[in-house]
Structure 1
Amino acid sequence: MARKKIPIKKIDNINARQVTFSKRRKGLFKKAQELSTLCDAEIALIVFSATNKLFEYASSSMQQILERHSRHSGAQGLDISSIGQQLGSDSFDMLRKEIEDKTHNLSQLNGDELQGLTIEELQKLEELLQRRWTTISKIKDEKIIQEINSSKTKEAELMEENQKLKQRLAREQRQSHESITCSSSDFSPDIGSSDTSLKLGLRLFE
Protein backbone atom coordinates (compact mmCIF):
# COMPACT_ATOMS: atom_id res chain seq x y z
CA MET A 1 0.00 0.00 0.00
CA ALA A 2 1.45 3.34 -1.07
CA ARG A 3 2.12 5.96 1.57
CA LYS A 4 -0.17 8.96 1.63
CA LYS A 5 1.57 11.99 0.22
CA ILE A 6 1.65 14.95 2.58
CA PRO A 7 0.78 18.26 0.90
CA ILE A 8 3.61 20.78 1.11
CA LYS A 9 1.98 23.44 3.22
CA LYS A 10 2.10 24.56 6.83
CA ILE A 11 0.79 21.94 9.23
CA ASP A 12 -1.87 23.49 11.43
CA ASN A 13 -1.75 20.93 14.25
CA ILE A 14 1.08 21.95 16.57
CA ASN A 15 1.90 18.42 17.77
CA ALA A 16 1.86 17.00 14.24
CA ARG A 17 4.00 19.92 13.09
CA GLN A 18 6.58 19.24 15.82
CA VAL A 19 6.70 15.51 15.03
CA THR A 20 7.10 16.22 11.31
CA PHE A 21 9.79 18.79 12.02
CA SER A 22 11.76 16.31 14.14
CA LYS A 23 11.54 13.55 11.52
CA ARG A 24 12.29 15.81 8.56
CA ARG A 25 15.18 17.49 10.40
CA LYS A 26 16.82 14.14 11.17
CA GLY A 27 16.28 13.06 7.56
CA LEU A 28 17.79 16.33 6.28
CA PHE A 29 20.86 15.99 8.47
CA LYS A 30 21.24 12.34 7.43
CA LYS A 31 21.08 13.25 3.74
CA ALA A 32 23.63 16.02 4.32
CA GLN A 33 25.97 13.56 6.02
CA GLU A 34 25.58 11.05 3.18
CA LEU A 35 26.23 13.75 0.58
CA SER A 36 29.35 14.86 2.45
CA THR A 37 30.67 11.30 2.73
CA LEU A 38 29.88 10.20 -0.83
CA CYS A 39 31.02 13.37 -2.61
CA ASP A 40 33.66 14.70 -0.20
CA ALA A 41 31.66 17.92 0.16
CA GLU A 42 31.78 20.38 3.05
CA ILE A 43 28.26 21.03 4.29
CA ALA A 44 26.86 23.28 7.03
CA LEU A 45 23.20 23.42 8.04
CA ILE A 46 21.60 25.88 10.49
CA VAL A 47 17.97 25.29 11.48
CA PHE A 48 15.73 27.20 13.90
CA SER A 49 12.54 25.48 14.97
CA ALA A 50 9.20 27.22 15.49
CA THR A 51 10.07 27.35 19.20
CA ASN A 52 13.33 29.20 18.39
CA LYS A 53 15.49 26.18 19.19
CA LEU A 54 18.74 25.98 17.25
CA PHE A 55 19.86 22.86 15.38
CA GLU A 56 22.99 22.70 13.28
CA TYR A 57 25.09 20.20 11.34
CA ALA A 58 28.58 20.59 9.90
CA SER A 59 30.55 17.99 8.02
CA SER A 60 33.79 19.35 9.52
CA SER A 61 33.89 22.59 11.49
CA MET A 62 31.01 25.07 11.37
CA GLN A 63 33.43 27.94 11.98
CA GLN A 64 35.74 26.87 9.16
CA ILE A 65 32.86 26.39 6.72
CA LEU A 66 31.44 29.83 7.55
CA GLU A 67 34.87 31.37 7.13
CA ARG A 68 35.20 29.66 3.76
CA HIS A 69 31.76 30.96 2.75
CA SER A 70 32.76 34.44 3.84
CA ARG A 71 35.98 34.31 1.78
CA HIS A 72 34.08 32.93 -1.21
CA SER A 73 31.60 35.78 -0.95
CA GLY A 74 34.44 38.29 -1.19
CA ALA A 75 34.53 39.31 2.48
CA GLN A 76 37.87 40.00 4.13
CA GLY A 77 37.12 38.12 7.33
CA LEU A 78 34.40 36.64 9.49
CA ASP A 79 33.02 38.55 12.45
CA ILE A 80 29.78 38.79 14.38
CA SER A 81 28.25 41.34 12.04
CA SER A 82 28.96 39.17 8.96
CA ILE A 83 27.29 36.19 10.65
CA GLY A 84 24.32 38.39 11.43
CA GLN A 85 24.07 39.44 7.79
CA GLN A 86 24.22 35.81 6.64
CA LEU A 87 21.60 34.54 9.07
CA GLY A 88 19.32 37.56 9.02
CA SER A 89 18.70 39.95 11.89
CA ASP A 90 15.96 37.87 13.57
CA SER A 91 17.90 34.63 13.43
CA PHE A 92 21.06 36.37 14.54
CA ASP A 93 19.30 37.96 17.52
CA MET A 94 17.91 34.58 18.58
CA LEU A 95 21.33 32.96 18.23
CA ARG A 96 23.00 35.72 20.22
CA LYS A 97 20.31 35.54 22.93
CA GLU A 98 20.75 31.76 23.19
CA ILE A 99 24.51 32.18 23.58
CA GLU A 100 23.97 34.82 26.27
CA ASP A 101 21.51 32.55 28.12
CA LYS A 102 23.92 29.61 28.02
CA THR A 103 26.74 31.82 29.28
CA HIS A 104 24.50 33.17 32.06
CA ASN A 105 23.42 29.65 33.10
CA LEU A 106 27.04 28.53 33.19
CA SER A 107 27.95 31.48 35.42
CA GLN A 108 25.13 30.55 37.80
CA LEU A 109 26.35 26.96 37.95
CA ASN A 110 29.74 28.36 38.94
CA GLY A 111 28.11 30.33 41.79
CA ASP A 112 28.04 33.75 40.10
CA GLU A 113 25.16 36.11 39.29
CA LEU A 114 22.83 34.57 41.88
CA GLN A 115 21.58 37.71 43.62
CA GLY A 116 18.73 38.37 41.18
CA LEU A 117 17.27 34.85 41.40
CA THR A 118 14.05 34.06 43.25
CA ILE A 119 13.80 31.37 45.92
CA GLU A 120 12.16 29.00 43.44
CA GLU A 121 14.93 29.57 40.88
CA LEU A 122 17.58 29.02 43.53
CA GLN A 123 15.88 25.78 44.60
CA LYS A 124 15.84 24.53 40.99
CA LEU A 125 19.50 25.44 40.62
CA GLU A 126 20.28 23.65 43.90
CA GLU A 127 18.41 20.52 42.73
CA LEU A 128 20.32 20.57 39.43
CA LEU A 129 23.65 20.85 41.21
CA GLN A 130 22.62 18.10 43.64
CA ARG A 131 21.79 15.74 40.77
CA ARG A 132 25.10 16.49 39.10
CA TRP A 133 26.92 16.05 42.41
CA THR A 134 25.18 12.69 42.93
CA THR A 135 26.24 11.56 39.47
CA ILE A 136 29.81 12.69 40.05
CA SER A 137 29.94 10.98 43.47
CA LYS A 138 28.58 7.74 41.99
CA ILE A 139 31.22 7.71 39.25
CA LYS A 140 33.93 8.55 41.82
CA ASP A 141 32.83 5.68 44.09
CA GLU A 142 32.86 3.27 41.16
CA LYS A 143 36.40 4.37 40.29
CA ILE A 144 37.51 3.86 43.91
CA ILE A 145 35.98 0.36 44.00
CA GLN A 146 37.74 -0.50 40.73
CA GLU A 147 41.07 0.69 42.16
CA ILE A 148 40.56 -1.35 45.35
CA ASN A 149 39.66 -4.50 43.41
CA SER A 150 42.66 -3.99 41.15
CA SER A 151 44.95 -3.57 44.19
CA LYS A 152 43.56 -6.74 45.78
CA THR A 153 44.13 -8.68 42.58
CA LYS A 154 47.73 -7.46 42.35
CA GLU A 155 48.28 -8.28 46.04
CA ALA A 156 47.00 -11.85 45.55
CA GLU A 157 49.23 -12.29 42.50
CA LEU A 158 52.29 -11.05 44.44
CA MET A 159 51.53 -13.36 47.40
CA GLU A 160 51.19 -16.33 45.04
CA GLU A 161 54.46 -15.46 43.34
CA ASN A 162 56.17 -15.05 46.72
CA GLN A 163 54.92 -18.49 47.83
CA LYS A 164 56.24 -20.06 44.64
CA LEU A 165 59.66 -18.45 45.22
CA LYS A 166 59.75 -19.78 48.81
CA GLN A 167 58.93 -23.31 47.64
CA ARG A 168 61.58 -23.12 44.93
CA LEU A 169 64.20 -21.88 47.40
CA ALA A 170 63.34 -24.68 49.84
CA ARG A 171 63.73 -27.31 47.08
CA GLU A 172 67.09 -25.89 46.03
CA GLN A 173 68.34 -25.85 49.65
CA ARG A 174 67.19 -29.47 50.16
CA GLN A 175 68.87 -30.61 46.96
CA SER A 176 72.07 -28.81 47.92
CA HIS A 177 72.09 -30.44 51.36
CA GLU A 178 71.53 -33.90 49.84
CA SER A 179 74.37 -33.33 47.36
CA ILE A 180 76.79 -32.36 50.13
CA THR A 181 75.82 -35.47 52.16
CA CYS A 182 76.41 -37.79 49.22
CA SER A 183 79.82 -36.24 48.51
CA SER A 184 80.93 -36.77 52.12
CA SER A 185 79.96 -40.46 52.00
CA ASP A 186 81.94 -41.11 48.79
CA PHE A 187 85.20 -39.70 50.18
CA SER A 188 85.07 -41.19 53.75
CA PRO A 189 88.35 -43.17 54.69
CA ASP A 190 88.24 -47.01 55.07
CA ILE A 191 89.59 -47.39 58.65
CA GLY A 192 89.41 -51.23 58.71
CA SER A 193 91.55 -51.72 55.57
CA SER A 194 94.30 -49.40 56.81
CA ASP A 195 94.55 -51.20 60.13
CA THR A 196 94.89 -54.61 58.42
CA SER A 197 97.67 -53.37 56.15
CA LEU A 198 99.53 -51.97 59.10
CA LYS A 199 99.39 -55.31 60.96
CA LEU A 200 100.59 -57.24 57.93
CA GLY A 201 103.57 -54.94 57.58
CA LEU A 202 104.61 -55.48 61.18
CA ARG A 203 104.51 -59.29 60.80
CA LEU A 204 106.79 -59.23 57.78
CA PHE A 205 109.42 -57.40 59.71
CA GLU A 206 109.28 -59.98 62.50
Structure 2
Amino acid sequence: MVRGKIEMKKIENATSRQVTFSKRRNGLLKKAYELSVLCDAQVSLIIFSQRGRLYEFSSSDMKKTIERYRKYTKDHETSNHDSEIYIQQLKQEASHMITKIDLLEVHKRKLLGQGIASCSLEDLQEIDSQLQKSLGKVRARKAQLFKEQVENLKAKEKQLLEENVKLHQKNVIDTWRGSNEHQEKYRVIDLNLDVQTDLFIGLPDRNC
Protein backbone atom coordinates (compact mmCIF):
# COMPACT_ATOMS: atom_id res chain seq x y z
CA MET A 1 0.00 0.00 0.00
CA VAL A 2 1.45 3.34 -1.07
CA ARG A 3 1.70 5.93 1.65
CA GLY A 4 -0.01 9.16 0.71
CA LYS A 5 1.74 12.50 0.83
CA ILE A 6 0.85 14.55 3.88
CA GLU A 7 0.22 18.23 3.37
CA MET A 8 2.53 20.29 5.56
CA LYS A 9 0.10 22.28 7.65
CA LYS A 10 -1.31 22.15 11.16
CA ILE A 11 -3.54 19.14 11.85
CA GLU A 12 -6.81 20.54 13.05
CA ASN A 13 -8.06 17.35 14.67
CA ALA A 14 -6.59 17.19 18.20
CA THR A 15 -6.56 13.37 18.37
CA SER A 16 -4.87 12.98 15.00
CA ARG A 17 -2.45 15.72 15.92
CA GLN A 18 -1.48 13.93 19.15
CA VAL A 19 -1.03 10.60 17.38
CA THR A 20 1.16 12.21 14.71
CA PHE A 21 3.20 13.97 17.37
CA SER A 22 3.88 10.74 19.26
CA LYS A 23 4.91 8.84 16.14
CA ARG A 24 7.16 11.52 14.73
CA ARG A 25 8.66 12.33 18.12
CA ASN A 26 9.73 8.73 18.63
CA GLY A 27 11.11 8.59 15.09
CA LEU A 28 13.02 11.82 15.64
CA LEU A 29 14.53 10.59 18.91
CA LYS A 30 15.52 7.34 17.22
CA LYS A 31 17.20 9.19 14.34
CA ALA A 32 19.08 11.39 16.80
CA TYR A 33 20.38 8.33 18.62
CA GLU A 34 21.40 6.62 15.37
CA LEU A 35 23.21 9.76 14.19
CA SER A 36 25.21 9.99 17.42
CA VAL A 37 26.23 6.31 17.26
CA LEU A 38 26.89 5.93 13.54
CA CYS A 39 28.70 9.24 13.03
CA ASP A 40 30.16 9.77 16.52
CA ALA A 41 28.40 13.15 16.59
CA GLN A 42 27.48 15.11 19.68
CA VAL A 43 23.68 15.29 19.42
CA SER A 44 21.19 16.90 21.77
CA LEU A 45 17.46 17.09 21.10
CA ILE A 46 14.86 19.05 23.05
CA ILE A 47 11.13 18.79 22.34
CA PHE A 48 8.25 20.53 24.07
CA SER A 49 4.80 19.23 23.30
CA GLN A 50 1.79 21.48 22.83
CA ARG A 51 0.88 20.86 26.44
CA GLY A 52 4.37 21.83 27.62
CA ARG A 53 5.71 18.39 28.27
CA LEU A 54 9.48 17.98 27.78
CA TYR A 55 11.12 15.26 25.72
CA GLU A 56 14.86 15.23 25.31
CA PHE A 57 17.81 13.20 24.13
CA SER A 58 21.53 13.86 24.47
CA SER A 59 24.47 11.71 23.49
CA SER A 60 26.49 13.45 26.23
CA ASP A 61 25.80 15.80 29.12
CA MET A 62 22.95 18.10 28.10
CA LYS A 63 24.26 21.11 30.06
CA LYS A 64 27.70 20.88 28.52
CA THR A 65 26.16 20.67 25.06
CA ILE A 66 24.04 23.74 25.73
CA GLU A 67 27.04 25.67 27.04
CA ARG A 68 29.01 24.68 23.98
CA TYR A 69 26.17 25.85 21.77
CA ARG A 70 25.95 29.18 23.57
CA LYS A 71 29.70 29.73 23.27
CA TYR A 72 29.63 28.89 19.58
CA THR A 73 26.74 31.21 18.81
CA LYS A 74 28.38 34.00 20.83
CA ASP A 75 31.70 33.62 18.99
CA HIS A 76 29.86 33.40 15.70
CA GLU A 77 27.91 36.55 16.41
CA THR A 78 31.12 38.34 17.41
CA SER A 79 32.78 37.17 14.23
CA ASN A 80 29.83 38.32 12.15
CA HIS A 81 29.85 41.67 13.92
CA ASP A 82 33.58 42.11 13.26
CA SER A 83 33.06 41.16 9.64
CA GLU A 84 30.28 43.72 9.29
CA ILE A 85 32.50 46.42 10.82
CA TYR A 86 35.35 45.48 8.45
CA ILE A 87 33.02 45.58 5.45
CA GLN A 88 31.75 49.00 6.49
CA GLN A 89 35.35 50.24 6.77
CA LEU A 90 36.12 48.91 3.30
CA LYS A 91 33.05 50.66 1.90
CA GLN A 92 34.08 53.95 3.51
CA GLU A 93 37.64 53.63 2.17
CA ALA A 94 36.29 52.85 -1.30
CA SER A 95 34.03 55.90 -1.14
CA HIS A 96 36.96 58.11 -0.07
CA MET A 97 39.10 56.72 -2.88
CA ILE A 98 36.40 57.42 -5.46
CA THR A 99 36.06 61.00 -4.21
CA LYS A 100 39.84 61.43 -4.28
CA ILE A 101 40.08 60.04 -7.81
CA ASP A 102 37.36 62.42 -9.01
CA LEU A 103 39.23 65.38 -7.51
CA LEU A 104 42.49 64.26 -9.13
CA GLU A 105 40.75 63.94 -12.50
CA VAL A 106 39.38 67.49 -12.19
CA HIS A 107 42.83 68.77 -11.19
CA LYS A 108 44.44 66.92 -14.09
CA ARG A 109 42.03 68.48 -16.59
CA LYS A 110 42.80 71.93 -15.21
CA LEU A 111 46.55 71.34 -15.57
CA LEU A 112 45.91 70.38 -19.20
CA GLY A 113 44.05 73.64 -19.71
CA GLN A 114 40.60 72.06 -19.76
CA GLY A 115 37.66 73.41 -17.79
CA ILE A 116 39.48 76.51 -16.51
CA ALA A 117 36.74 78.92 -17.57
CA SER A 118 35.16 78.66 -14.14
CA CYS A 119 38.46 79.03 -12.27
CA SER A 120 39.11 82.13 -10.21
CA LEU A 121 42.27 84.21 -10.39
CA GLU A 122 43.67 82.50 -7.29
CA ASP A 123 42.98 79.08 -8.81
CA LEU A 124 44.76 80.08 -12.02
CA GLN A 125 47.75 81.39 -10.06
CA GLU A 126 47.97 78.14 -8.14
CA ILE A 127 47.81 76.13 -11.37
CA ASP A 128 50.51 78.33 -12.90
CA SER A 129 52.73 77.83 -9.84
CA GLN A 130 52.32 74.06 -10.01
CA LEU A 131 53.11 74.04 -13.70
CA GLN A 132 56.28 76.07 -13.11
CA LYS A 133 57.40 73.62 -10.43
CA SER A 134 56.71 70.67 -12.70
CA LEU A 135 58.54 72.35 -15.57
CA GLY A 136 61.54 72.97 -13.31
CA LYS A 137 61.66 69.31 -12.35
CA VAL A 138 61.43 68.25 -16.00
CA ARG A 139 64.27 70.56 -17.00
CA ALA A 140 66.43 69.39 -14.10
CA ARG A 141 65.89 65.77 -15.08
CA LYS A 142 66.65 66.59 -18.72
CA ALA A 143 69.89 68.34 -17.76
CA GLN A 144 70.90 65.37 -15.62
CA LEU A 145 70.34 62.96 -18.51
CA PHE A 146 72.38 65.19 -20.86
CA LYS A 147 75.20 65.30 -18.31
CA GLU A 148 75.20 61.53 -17.95
CA GLN A 149 75.31 61.11 -21.73
CA VAL A 150 78.24 63.52 -22.05
CA GLU A 151 80.13 61.70 -19.30
CA ASN A 152 79.51 58.36 -21.00
CA LEU A 153 80.74 59.73 -24.33
CA LYS A 154 83.87 61.15 -22.68
CA ALA A 155 84.59 57.83 -21.02
CA LYS A 156 84.13 56.03 -24.33
CA GLU A 157 86.42 58.54 -26.08
CA LYS A 158 89.11 58.02 -23.44
CA GLN A 159 88.85 54.27 -23.83
CA LEU A 160 89.20 54.54 -27.62
CA LEU A 161 92.24 56.82 -27.28
CA GLU A 162 93.92 54.37 -24.93
CA GLU A 163 93.25 51.51 -27.32
CA ASN A 164 94.61 53.60 -30.21
CA VAL A 165 97.83 54.33 -28.28
CA LYS A 166 98.27 50.64 -27.51
CA LEU A 167 97.75 49.69 -31.16
CA HIS A 168 100.24 52.35 -32.28
CA GLN A 169 102.87 51.12 -29.79
CA LYS A 170 102.35 47.57 -30.92
CA ASN A 171 102.74 48.58 -34.57
CA VAL A 172 106.03 50.40 -33.82
CA ILE A 173 107.42 47.41 -31.94
CA ASP A 174 106.44 45.01 -34.72
CA THR A 175 108.08 47.29 -37.35
CA TRP A 176 111.29 47.53 -35.31
CA ARG A 177 111.45 43.77 -34.87
CA GLY A 178 110.93 43.26 -38.59
CA SER A 179 113.72 45.72 -39.42
CA ASN A 180 116.17 44.02 -37.06
CA GLU A 181 115.45 40.61 -38.52
CA HIS A 182 116.06 41.97 -42.04
CA GLN A 183 119.44 43.47 -41.08
CA GLU A 184 120.49 40.28 -39.33
CA LYS A 185 119.73 38.32 -42.46
CA TYR A 186 121.93 40.54 -44.65
CA ARG A 187 124.72 40.45 -42.09
CA VAL A 188 124.88 36.67 -42.38
CA ILE A 189 125.03 36.92 -46.13
CA ASP A 190 127.94 39.40 -45.95
CA LEU A 191 129.87 37.12 -43.64
CA ASN A 192 129.47 34.28 -46.02
CA LEU A 193 130.87 36.40 -48.86
CA ASP A 194 134.06 37.15 -46.87
CA VAL A 195 134.89 33.45 -46.43
CA GLN A 196 138.14 32.47 -48.27
CA THR A 197 138.34 29.18 -50.16
CA ASP A 198 141.03 27.32 -52.23
CA LEU A 199 138.65 26.85 -55.08
CA PHE A 200 140.19 28.09 -58.42
CA ILE A 201 138.21 28.57 -61.56
CA GLY A 202 140.14 28.53 -64.91
CA LEU A 203 142.82 26.55 -66.76
CA PRO A 204 145.38 24.66 -64.63
CA ASP A 205 148.86 26.01 -64.30
CA ARG A 206 151.22 24.30 -66.80
CA ASN A 207 154.10 24.35 -64.35
CA CYS A 208 152.29 22.03 -62.07
| TM-score, structure 1 as length reference | 0.50
Which of structures 1 and 2 has the bigger CA Rg? Answer: 2
